[in-house]
Amino acid sequence: MGLNLDASPEELKVFLEEADEHFQTLEEDLIRLEKEEEFNEDLMQEIFRASHTLKGSSATIGHNRMAQLTHGMENVLDKLRKKQLTVTSDLVDIMFECLDCLKVLRDEILNDEESDLELGDILGKLGSVHDAAPGSDSPTTTQPAPDKTSGKQTEAKISIDLSWEERDTLANASERGLKPYVIQLLFDVELEMLAVRTFVTLMALNETGEMLKSNPSADEIEREQVTDTLVMLILMKDDEAKIREVISTLPNIAQYEIQPFNDNVTQGEAPVIQRVEKVGEAEAECDEAESGDRNKINEAKNKAPTAAKNNNAKKANRTVRVDVELLDSLMNLVGELVIDRTRLFQILGNLEANYEMDEVSQDLGRTSVHIARVTTQLQEQIMKARMLPVENLFNKFPRMVRDLSQKAGKEVDFVMTGQETELDRSIIEEIGDPLIHLLRNAVDHGIEPPDQRVAKGKPRIGQLKLQASHEENHIIITIKDDGRGIDPEVVKKSGVKKGMITEEQAKRLTDKEAINLIFMSGLSTVAKVSDVSGRGVGMDVVRNNIEKINGATEIDSAVDKGTEFKIKLPLTLAIIRALLVSIDKSVYAIPLSSVTETIRMQQDQIEYVNNQEVIVVRGKVLPLVRLKKVFRNSYDIEDRGKLFVVVVNLAGQQVGLVVDSLVGEQEIVIKTLGKYIGDVQGISGATILGDGNVALIVDVSNLIKKAAS
């Protein structure tokens, strides 16, 4: 069932944008509020304002549940603001719970469907926190008081006791040409903010003449000692028609009576207007009118164009909303253009080499150069259009780290930098889970409990840093903690125990290689499985997810110093720079992101370890993989004396790929092989080259794994 909100799609868009901003404010500020030792008034005000504005806006669009929740929040925040409550982590927990509920309620708007979220529980919590605070019968209670008293009040006598001074003024009034009038007003029943309404009415009538006396008096009204009646004694030049005219413009007045002031009243008692028997009727009428109105509104809503149901139109965004699919297909088209650009240059080269250039072909050349330039710009722009700041992803982490560290009993200072760094949106989608996993690990296993830290002579509070930055054609995300670090010996033992490596192998592993074992499936060094991590699933998934998008992970860890994960990501998924190599006259592309260097060497430099070809590069043993063997299944390794080795590196593991020759470096557009070909070992995709030929893209991580096994 739809929510039947009272707002146009454009209005909802603005509402949702603002709501998201307020959620963000609440989230950030609540964390800060909890952290800061001294009560920060400005921060508190900001939090209060966010919830207050949300309340007003949600009530306006008719999202009653959101209004209800924010009202409850505001009551508690008001107490905090007035220092009648103090900031405790329990209270912050409750506020975060509210925030979670608010997000569900916001999603109701996006889906135009009421969720099954029950607010009873959280409202109860808010209520009990609020009621526990001193001074809890403050004006924040919603129910206005007068309906209880109105019955009695109409029977009571309303007296106008005049002091001697006032009687004096009264006696002199006629000399000044002023006539005294008694005005009695009865306000509408169940009026909200009756005191203020009474005050405004008093002020308005005050302007018609000289107010001698009122009951309740201005002071009493200010102290909210009001009933639904107001009696005034006014001295004025004009007659009562003037008063009627003024009263007729004032809102919320149910009945009134104006009488010239006479002796009878001078005795101190004014005839009281009764709230006529119509009270009941009036209420009934009022109810009827209201429900009538509601019906009308509902009808109108039902009649509202079905376009309102179009969720997409409602979703929040800062600018123009473009379907991701459209961006993807644009990127694809640009990819085609990029291929043609390369192709065009090649054709042009042939033309120049083989034919004499005349006017026409020179023209063609110039146009080609121009098209190439425009293509490059188009490619950059579309890539930019797909970029989002990582902020969108990072924003949810502070809250997550806070909750995790609280659950684990750790004290963590979480710092994020470089949130403005931009990444292709599809990459942002892919790295969310790996990052969450790494942050969880850091809090859960990396950072020690405060007491242990103190015992080790470290500061009590652990540092956790998340950083995004630009580095050449890559984005680097690092997660760094100053916790206990990864002990290579422990990892080795665990690996042997789980049968993943032999003891023999374990002995030969360097520390770095040992630490890299944690990326293998099934390895967990933690004795106890916690609520959040340590189940042995994870690190391999983390690596696979990152490699899937042509990224790479690196670990650097030292016992008791901490651990640093470095994730290197490409700017985009669709177009990469690649090193083109040839094997048996076919061209293959190796993603440049994983290439460390190319080496030209002699056949006789190859050495053998356990029948495995290796070379020694600067004192380091490098296993060789002959791509000819892998892809061509050809074993005849001709001894040409010279050979080319492309050194590739993934997550600290290096392998040398032996190729026939190096062709060059080029931007390539990644195409999948298509379902009918399916997964091919060692190949991750294909691309079209400038000459129109197809080149296969080498799957480096697959080859490295193969070389390792």
Distance CA 512, CA 518 (A): 11
Residue 260: both structure tokens together:
């010239």
DSSP sequence for 179-230: EEEEEEEEEPTT-TTHHHHHHHHHHHHHTTSEEEEEES-HHHHHTT---SEE
Q: Which of 441, 545, 550, 702 is catalytic?
A: 441
> Is the CB of 187 or the CB of 199 nearer to another protein?
199
Element (H, E) at 513: helix 511-516
Q: How far is it, in rounded angstroms, from Cα 709 to Cα 681?
A: 14
Catalytic-residue membership of 74: yes
In the complex with another protein, which residue's Cβ is closer, 246 or 592?
A: 246
Task: List, in order, residues 6 or more apart from 223 with CB less than 8 Å away.
Answer: none
Q: Which is nearer to another protein, 127 or 652 (CB)?
A: 127
Q: Which of 97, 124, 16 is nearest to 63 (CA)?
A: 16
Q: Name which of 226 and 542 has its Cβ closer to another protein.
A: 226
Number of alpha carbons in the 13 Å side-chain half-sphere of residue 613: 15
Rounded least distance, CB 252 to another protein, Å: 10
> What minimum distance in Å lies between the beta carbon of 166 and another protein?
23
H/E run at residue 243 = helix 240-249
Is the preceding omega at residue 271 within 30 degrees of 0, hence cis?
no
Contact between 276 and 255 under an 8 Å Cβ cutoff? The reply is: yes
Strands 253-260 and 387-389: unpaired
Nearer to another protein, 10 or 489 (CB): 10
Q: Is 693 a catalytic residue?
A: no
Cβ 7 to another protein, closest distance in Å? 7
Q: Rounded to an integer, what distance in angstroms lies between the CA atom of residue 39 and that of residue 471?
A: 40
User: What is the contact surface with another protein in residues (CB under 8 A)?
Assistant: 7, 10-11, 14-15, 17-18, 46, 48-49, 52-53, 55-57, 59-60, 62, 67, 74-75, 78, 139-142, 192-193, 195-196, 199-200, 203, 222, 224, 249-251
Q: 470 catalytic, yes or no?
A: no
Cβ proximity to another protein: between 78 and 430 the closer is 78
CB-based contacts of 252, cutoff 8 Å, min separation 6 = 187, 188, 191, 197
- Please, which residue, 276 or 300, has the CB nearer to another protein? 300
Closest separation between CB of residue 138 and another protein, Å? 8
Pairing of strands 620-626, 653-659: parallel
Instruction: State the minimum distance, in angstroms, from the CB of residue 242 to another protein.
Output: 16
Q: Which of 22, 27, 52, 108 is catalytic?
A: 52
Catalytic residue of the set 27, 63, 71, 74: 74
Distance CA 591, CA 579 (A): 6
Q: What is the CA angle 692-693-696, rounded to 5?
A: 135
Question: Cβ distance 327 to 567 under 8 Å?
Answer: no
Is 372 in contact with 345 (CB distance < 8 Å)?
A: yes
Catalytic residues, which ones? 52, 74, 441
